[in-house]
Structure 1
Amino acid sequence: MTGTERRSRLRGPQRRAKIVQAALEVLAAAGYHATGMGAIATAAGVTRSVLYDHFPNKRVLLLAVLQEQNAALIEHVGGRITGTGSPEERMRATVDAYFSFAESRPAARKLLFDRTDEDDVEIQTVRWGIRESRTRAVAALLADDLRRMGVDPDSPAAEAMVELLITGLDGMAQWWARRPETPRAELVAAAMRLLWDGLGPRR
């Protein structure tokens, strides 16, 4: 069976998923401006005409990739936030889940947080919308914990706290990408030392 025959046997959703995965890898590695639709088609193992059957242009493809990867991140982390255990145990599980996402899906983390080289106003607007929806989603998942702290989950303070949590953890993930020899457990312990114990002296 030839490669063309194998491609023809893929169903539409399977082919679309293959294109999205290829676009994720190529866009994360090269950036938006340096990536052409031809390179994405080649990486996905499809023709340009098949690619355009699914996505009319690069902007639409990028937005689809961003939205799908953001949903995957929230799903990956959300189960730990609302899981069983004490608040501290759930926080530790959540921190570990974020680092496991960064470790297992580095292209997704990079495209969501690092790659902002687009100068398209619509893309920038959608990026901010995705960021705000992610913050609201995490704040909703943390609602009970926030209330126990005396913070209204719908307040600006809650959103600011969630932003600090997300950007702080991603900053550590970026540091980790430069020092991959650091064990994930050590990174989780360091994050918990700051997030849970604070900067004061340990009791």
Structure 2
Amino acid sequence: MYACRCRPVILPTGTVVITAKERRQTVADGARANDGAAAKQERSGSTRSARLPRDERRAQLLNAALEVFVSNGFHGAAMDEIAETAHVSKPVLYQHFPSKRDLYMALLDSHLAALTELMLSALNSTTDNKERVKAVMRAYYKFIADDDQAHRLVFESDLINDPDVSSRLETFNKTFADAVAHVIAEDTKLPPLEAQLLGRGLAGMAQVSARYWLETDGNLDLDVASDLIYRLAWRGISRFPKES
């Protein structure tokens, strides 16, 4: 590099002056930093994504994690692959989720909350109990059929026997079944314990039949399949006497 031969310039009082030597040092330091970052990026084989607000970054990481966990399961998934799928560095991933387990649990919580809201919304979409049963069955089938395959994370996890996972699933099942039982108890003369059993039965019917339907490659149209189960459920539940 060549020394600067620029003519001196008189600057206002208080202006910080950077000498040519200091400027050269700054440029050199910057170049080394850029070279180091480029080398690190080249070694990682990935390109970092632009800076995002924390909530957006978290959502991006969860989406990437879902893809990897669904494909590989919890034990087969690696944080390196999740970071690569999200186009971020591992340090960025660990800033949001300290461990793979923390990431998995956050993802499970997110999808269980979404499924709970979906089921309760279907249940509360009408005051006609026949239409309620129909709406609930259809909503469950749509969740199972969704392209993101979140149902595999929720119902087919290789951590299904983990106490933290099973307790979360039980919380969802109880919330959903209790909501169904409440409607049944209000509409019939059945005591609460019997209504709760029926609620569990209807919730289980929706889940098991929808998963079986998907395993058969969905050869039956979604509307046809969910309607069959709705009619089966309704013909049973509608036989109970209504509260006068």
TM-score tier by shorter-chain length is: 0.7 to 0.9
1:99 CA drift (Å): 0.8
Kindly provide the amino acid, as one letter, of the partner of residue 134 in structure 2: R
- Measure the CA separation in 2 of the matches of 1:88 and 1:110: 29
Higher RCO (CA 8 Å, separation ≥ 6 residues): 1
**1:26 touches 1:35 (CA, 8 Å); kept in 2?**
yes
Q: Spell out, residue by residue over 1:26-53, the C-alpha distance to the aligned partner (whole angstroms, 9 max, x if none).
A: 1122111111111111111111110000
Question: Conserved in 2, the CA contact under 8 Å of 1:135 and 1:159?
Answer: no
1:111 equivalent to 2:148? Answer no
Larger radius of gyration: 2
1:38-91 deviation digits (Å, cap 9, x = unpaired): 111111111111000001111111111111100000111211101214101111
Out of 43, 60, 67, the position equivalent to 1:18 is: 60
Counterpart amino acid of 2:174?
R
* Cα distance in structure 1, aligned partners of 2:104 and 2:54: 19
Tell me the equivalent position of 1:137: 175
CA distance in 1, matches of 2:93, 2:213: 35
Output the TM-score relative to the length of structure 1: 0.83
> Of 78, 91, 94, which residue of structure 2 is paired with 1:49?
91
The equivalent position to 2:106 in structure 1, one of 64, 67, 79, is 64
**In 1, Cα distance between the equivalents of 2:166 and 2:77?**
22
Q: Aligned residues, how many?
A: 190
- The Cα offsets for residues 116-161 of structure 1, whole Å up to 9 and x where unpaired, read as x238x7xx112222122112321343313333234455x4x54443
Match of 1:148 among 166, 175, 187: 187
Give the conservation status (yes or no) of the 8 Å contact 1:27–1:35. Answer: yes
Greater shift, 50-59 or 25-34, is seen at 25-34
Is residue 173 of structure 1 aligned with residue 210 of structure 2? yes
Separation (CA, whole Å) in 2 of partners of 1:192 and 1:107: 23
Question: Corresponding residue for 1:92?
Answer: 134
Q: Which residue of 2 aligns with 1:33?
A: 75
Q: Percent identity?
A: 29
Cα 1:85–1:144 change in 2 (3 A) is closer
Q: CA deviation at 1:104?
A: 2.0
Structure 1 residue runs of 4 or more that deviate by more than 6 Å after TM superposition: none
Among candidates 163, 172, 177, match of residue 125 of structure 1: 163
Following the alignment from structure 2 to structure 1, what is the Cα–Cα distance between the partners of residues 169 and 185?
20
Q: CA RMSD in A?
A: 2.4
Contact 2:69/2:77, CA 8 A, preserved across alignment:
yes
- Which structure 2 segments of 5+ residues have no match? 1-46, 237-244
Contact 1:136 1:159 (C-alpha < 8 Å) held by counterparts: no
Alpha-carbon distance between aligned partners in 2 of 1:148 and 1:68, rounded to the nearest angstrom:
32
